[in-house]
Chain A
Amino acid sequence: MSLIEIEDLSVTFRAKGREVRAVEGVSLKVGKGESFGLVGESGSGKSTILRAICGLVPVTGGSIRIGGQPLPSPRGRAFSTQVQMVFQDPYASLHPRHTVDRTLSEPLAIHGIPGSDARVVQALTDVGLPPAFRFRYPHQLSGGQRQRVAIARALMLQPKVLLLDEPTSALDASVQAEVLNLLNRLRAERDLTFLMVSHDLAVIDYMTDRILVMQHGRAVEELSRSDLAAARMTTEYARSLFAASADRMLDPAVAAPA
């Protein structure tokens, strides 16, 4: 059975009499332990799907099920122990006035989990940060370090599903590879399921087993990793997207980092 099932999902924003259909009739299934990618240009609705899962934008049609259960609205605490999200911009996703320690211990405090001292140190070690970083503020960290903290925060509640909203697009190329490798290692260690959004096919190719290409809020084409590697696209849009990043997919720095 699939862990994430999205059926005919629509998200429509209404503002001052205007309607913007961000997502229209998108369906997808992600199995347990799988890594699934959503690809498309800016404004194609891929991040909106992640936000709809989290309840950060209203679902106007269709259904989302996690582990066969429809999601309650508001999402509630049980949801947060199942699904967590890593945001695109690590400069905006960490509270600027909270230390790393506070950021990481907050989810434990919310859920009444004891032993936060040891857990915070362990979480930092798990994402490859020295425990000495514990009492630093986000402005004292680099972009890559911040994103590691954001990943550590998302894993504090030991979720099964991690939603990744372009987790590396705000980072420079060498740091990108490090963070992607970290995510892959964590997925293998913890048996996580990834639903990842990116506009970069090179990143998606490295990270995911299957992808869904989106355009203007609609699903265009679903491809497996081997389809992508062999350039077996059936639609013109997927082909053009592939052509735009094909040269970088062969780049050893991204495609096969050390």
Chain B
Amino acid sequence: MTALHAWLSDPNPSSRRQAKLGQIWLAWLRIRRNRLAMVGLVIVGLLLVVAAFAPWIAPHDPYVQDLSRRLLPPGTPGNLLGTDDFGRDILSRIIYGARITLYTIGLVAVTAPVLGLLVGTVAGYFGGWIDAVLMRVTDIFLAFPRLILALALVAVLGPGIENAVLAIALTAWPPYARLARAETLTVRSSDYIAAIRLQGASSARIIAGHVVPMCLPSVIIRVTLDMAGVILIAAGLGFLGLGVQPPLPEWGLMISSGRKFLFEQWWVATMPGLAILIVSLGFNLLGDGLRDVLDPKSAPK
């Protein structure tokens, strides 16, 4: 272990791979010092574990109905968080729901920021009419309230998890484009961009290798902070019956089905609500911590 530590924290690495791993190691040390970020990381890590091992963790099948055991309160032996109106175990459904949540978040996280970065950096770097066209398109998307636009898209495409993800991604990219364009404008006239241009680099290379790294930290932080919003929109679409369809155990859908007996059997809606709350909180805390880690300039000397 100590040999590995010494190798990772060597101030004078001897190969590119060692330097890269050393950087990651330093980033890990930095995030470990931030207690709130660690809490966020643990929550997100837990979500990953729960989603990966759902069949082994869940005490019951999330789809098996048992009408003789419907609407049991939390703490009932065998149903830790109670049962819903079809007698399905709420804990098992939340555990399986983590998969759907993670799937949604994952797909949105790899599509919306990438599209936004592309649009924003291209617009900012080239300027002129390209900038004008791309940014007006962005403005049009920004002019609609996000949930309403997502609703309209799902209504056209038809309900379902893929369409919900598509709708969320298509409504989530404009802020990233704005962010990336603003960052690009501050770096595009800098000397280091002039220097690399002078060395014969193509525009694609400059944007991908030199402009994007400058935009990435703020975009990644924004992504983790937006994750909470994505979960909520996905839940909102599920709640309105436009996202994931029953009987899939999506958290928003579960809240929606528990609405009918919110006052008598509060746990049916509250338990998935708490799950959404905790996971959103986890992503927010992680996003806050990442801001410190992703800036090499804030690294201790």
Which residues of A are interface residues toward B (Cβ below 8 A)?
54, 56, 75-77, 79-81, 83-85, 87-89, 92-99, 101, 106-107, 110-111, 132, 134-135, 137, 139-140, 150, 153, 156-157
Contacts and interface: CB of A to CB of B under 8 A. Distances in A.
Contact of B199 (A94, A106, A150): A106
B198 A80 contact: yes
B210 A110 contact: no
Given A80-B198, A110-B205, A89 B191 contact: yes
Nearest to A53: B198
A106 B209 contact: yes
Interface string B286-301: 0000000000110001
A161 to B, nearest CB: 12
Contacts of B192: 92-96
Given A56-B194, A87-B191, A95-B196, 6 more contacts: A75-B198, A80-B199, A96-B214, A96-B297, A140-B301, A150-B195
A211 to B, nearest CB: 24
Given A95-B210, A97-B296, A110 B201 contact: yes
A2 B185 CA distance: 39
A134 B195 CA distance: 19
Contacts of A56: 194, 197-198
Contacts of B22: 135
15 contacts: A54-B194, A56-B197, A75-B198, A76-B200, A84-B198, A85-B195, A85-B198, A89-B191, A97-B213, A99-B19, A110-B201, A132-B12, A134-B19, A135-B19, A150-B195
Interface residues of B, number: 25
Contact of A84 (B190, B199, B297): B199
Contact of B198 (A54, A92, A132): A54
- Among all A-B residue pairs, the 6 with the closest Cβ atoms: A135-B19, A132-B12, A93-B191, A80-B200, A77-B200, A107-B199
A153 B201 contact: no
Interface in B182-216: 190-192, 194-201, 205, 209-210, 213-214
A80 B12 CA distance: 31
A139 B199 contact: no
Contact of A97 (B13, B214, B301): B214
Nearest to A156: B199
B136 interface: no
Nearest to B22: A135
Contacts of A140: 301
B12 to A, nearest CB: 4
A75 B296 CA distance: 34
B33 interface: no
Contacts of B210: 95, 98
B5 interface: no
B193 to A, nearest CB: 8
